Amino acid sequence: MIPLSWYLILAAGLFSIGLFGVLVRRNAVAILLGVELMLNAVNINLVSFWRYGDVLKMTGQVFAIIVFAVAAAEVAVGLALVISVYRSRNTVIADELDMMKW
């Protein structure tokens, strides 16, 4: 059987790729994709912790379902916000959202 740590490393890698995407990409939609990768890393963690822990307790699985349900709701709102920006500016590049500066 594959050891638990492999799954955790995979999840940590995925989380880091998502984090990198959020910090480096300039397109708002791409940033959103990065966030989704971070949340999916969490799901891998949750399900593998469940599988390698107490299999009769469903906490990990239930949590994973809640995470992706909530992530879907978040994306629905997020894309709507991005579209409303796109309509008035014809761009979704985060760097160009700079009307306010300190």
Work out how close the CB of 89 gets to another protein at its nearest, in angstroms, rounded to a whole number: 7
Is 35 a binding residue for another protein by CB under 8 A? The answer is yes
Answer for which of 9, 67, 91, 93 binds another protein (CB under 8 A) is 67
Work out how close the CB of 63 gets to another protein at its nearest, in angstroms, rounded to a whole number: 5
CA distance to 25, 36, 86, 99, per residue, from 93 (Å): 9, 18, 9, 13
Is 94 a binding residue for another protein by CB under 8 A? The answer is yes
Q: Is 65 left (phi over 0), alpha (psi -120 to 50) or beta?
A: alpha
Is 41 a binding residue for another protein by CB under 8 A? The answer is yes
The two tokens of residue 64 are 């994973």
